[in-house]
Structure 1
Amino acid sequence: MQVRRSRDAHDERACDAALKRAFEFLGKRWNGVLLGTLMEGPASYAELKRSITGISDSMLSDRLSQLGAADLIQRVIDAGPPVAVIYRLTPAGQALLPALRELSAWAEDNLAP
């Protein structure tokens, strides 16, 4: 005998909409890695590029723009001389730090290198 789930039973197990949005955004390639890199403090474009192996210039620029538009990072220009641009976490980005640290610890314990 086949047991059929009603539509209501399936809906009860639906993923939380906010969690879905978070993973859709943080799951985009490089977004989480960039935020994790900025956990150590502000960094220049060149420092970020050196820190993240495999990211192209255009992808780095695109992801920095997306994270800025989401108010997770801030682009700060120091008039210098010399002129310098750094990226740092906003308060909203800093609010992600505990979750990112927990994810990192989980990955260390549960995912093969």
Structure 2
Amino acid sequence: MAHPYDQGEQFCPAYHHAVELIGRRWTGVILRQLLHGTSRFAEIRDAIPALTDRMLASRLRELESEGIVRRTVLDTIPVKVQYDLTDKGRDLERTITALSEWADRWDDSAPAAN
């Protein structure tokens, strides 16, 4: 039986783009946070220690331009902005969950069980 990744191609541009996008610093944790539902900028920032406003804004813009995150401006006083995942972004849930489970299973920083 052929290996599922053996498609006769040594390099897959689509896969490379996806890994580069999702693998950028802070992107995975931002996506993981947004899987919990719609959030405002400060809620995302406060949920992720050490994430700066500048980096969060940059990553959210990038994810929005890729069609993964939707930015909604609410017509309130003061104006509120909220972020949520598009269908394309929510389609990453299995991937993010699998990576989270893998990280939990192989986390060397956790204390060893006796």
| TM-score normalised to structure 1 length | 0.82
Q: Distance in 2 between matches of 1:96 and 1:81?
A: 34
Secondary structure class of the residue paired with 1:40: coil
Alpha-carbon RMSD = 1.5
Between structures 1 and 2, the one with greater helix share: 1
Q: Distance in 2 between matches of 1:101 and 1:82?
A: 35
1:32 aligned partner: 28
Tell me, which stretches of 5 or more residues in structure 1 are unaligned?
1-11
Matched, 1:70 2:66: yes
Q: Distance in 1 between matches of 2:95 and 2:83?
A: 20
Identity over the aligned pairs, expressed in percent? Answer: 32
Q: How many residue pairs align between the two structures? A: 102
Tell me, which stretches of 5 or more residues in structure 2 are unaligned?
1-7, 110-114
Aligned match for 2:16, one of 17, 20, 38: 20
Q: Deviation digits for residues 21-54 of structure 1, max 9, x if unmatched?
A: 2111111101111111101001000101101111
CA shift, 1:66, in A, is 0.2
CA shift, 1:19, in A, is 2.2
Matched, 1:97 2:93: yes
Matched, 1:84 2:80: yes
Q: Deviation digits for residues 41-88 of structure 1, max 9, x if unmatched?
A: 010001011011111111111111000000000001111244211000
Q: Distance in 2 between matches of 1:45 and 1:106?
A: 28
Aligned match for 2:37, one of 20, 41, 47: 41
1:56 aligned partner: 52
Q: Which runs of 4+ in 1 moved over 4 A?
A: none
Q: Distance in 1 between matches of 2:76 and 2:25?
A: 33
- Rg larger in structure: 1
Q: Distance in 1 between matches of 2:96 and 2:47?
A: 17
Cα separation, partners in 2 of 1:22 and 1:56, compared to 1, 3 Å:
same
